[in-house]
Each structure stands twice: as structure tokens, then as C-alpha cells.
Amino acid sequence: MKTIIYTIFFSLMLGMAISPAPLYAWGGGQPPWEAPVMPGGKIVKTEDISVYYEYDQPYEKVLAFYKEALKNYRDPQYQHVDWAKFRDWDDQMYIEDQGGAKWHSIGISKGGGNKTTVKITRDNMMWVFSTLLIRFAGVFFVLCTLWLLLNINSALMKKYFPEGGKKAKAS
């Protein structure tokens, strides 16, 4: 009886996870994937996951447009949480979507004088896989560092305080 109940419970849970009704066609859709686009630009390049717009406008003006366009892009439940994360990099202002939009990032190039390129990238599994791989490797790195330091610590203890490091018998 117990087995039947557990089987039903787990099948239900797994079923719910595997076949969710709102399973999104993640990373699909057409450019610009619902991202705001500043008027007056022309598409100069299109890739599978990105589209490039060029503007005869200085960087500051394009940035001002995006800041305005995304100022209300917030978590509806927690109004203080911005879903658009602005990262000021050397070569571009990188705007990352942390909400549920179909676009993943908007990159506004810097240093082009009166020419500014905006690269809009859609959600893509490559980004998800790479970020997760790096972070999983990061966990290993942290614990491996701890492992290394514990080994050094243990070696030092054995050398300078030998009475503490007695070997126990094998089972």
C-alpha cells in the first residue's frame, strides 16, 4: 500500500515538473524579442541569437533612451526590484534581463563618437549552460581550496604537534 501511495505521489510530482502547461519555447520568437528598440536605427547585422542596430547618435543619448524605456521594468510583486541590470563595462553598457522577458541582454557600444551600435540578444541556452558550468566549477574550486588548506593544516599539525595526529587502525 505504502509503495503504491509513494509511486502515485512521485509520479504526480515528476509529471508536474516534466510536463508543465506553461512550458515556454525558451529562446524562440522574432527579433528584437520584445526588447525596447530606439527609433531611427537600422539593422546592420543579424545572427541566430542577436540583432545589431546602428544609430547616428552619441552613446549618452542611446543610453538615456534605454534608461527611460526600462525604468518601469520591475518585479510587479516587489516594486523595488529592477529586472533590468545595468552593467557599466569598458566597451559597452550591458543591460541584462533578470525578469522573464524573451530578450536576454542589450549591449550599447561606447566610444564610437556619433555612431552607436546596440546589440540585442535573445534568451539562449548557451548562456544558461555556460553560466551554470562556470558556477558549478566555482563550487568545486571553493571546496578544493578548502581541501588543499585543510591538508596543509593537517600536515603542519602532524609535524609540529604530532600527538594530535595519531593514525587510527584500519577497519
| Residue 20 vs 113, nearer CB to another protein | 20
B/e letters for 71-92, b = 16+ CB within 10 Å, e = fewer, are eeeeeeeeeeebbbeeeeeeeb
Piece in contact with another protein (CB under 8 A), picked from 29-37, 43-51, 63-71, 127-135? 127-135
Piece in contact with another protein (CB under 8 A), picked from 44-52, 54-62, 93-101, 112-120? 93-101
Residue 7 burial by CB count (10 A; 0-12/13-18/19+): exposed, middle or buried?
exposed
- From 44, 133, 131, select the one nearest 96 (Cα to Cα): 131
80 binds another protein (CB under 8 A): no
132 binds another protein (CB under 8 A): yes
64 binds another protein (CB under 8 A): no
Place of cell 555612431: 115
Chain length of the chain: 171
**Would you tell me which residues interact with another protein (CB under 8 A)?**
6, 10, 12-18, 20-24, 26, 77-78, 83, 85, 98-100, 125, 128-129, 131-133, 135-136, 138-147, 149-151, 153-154, 157, 161, 163-171
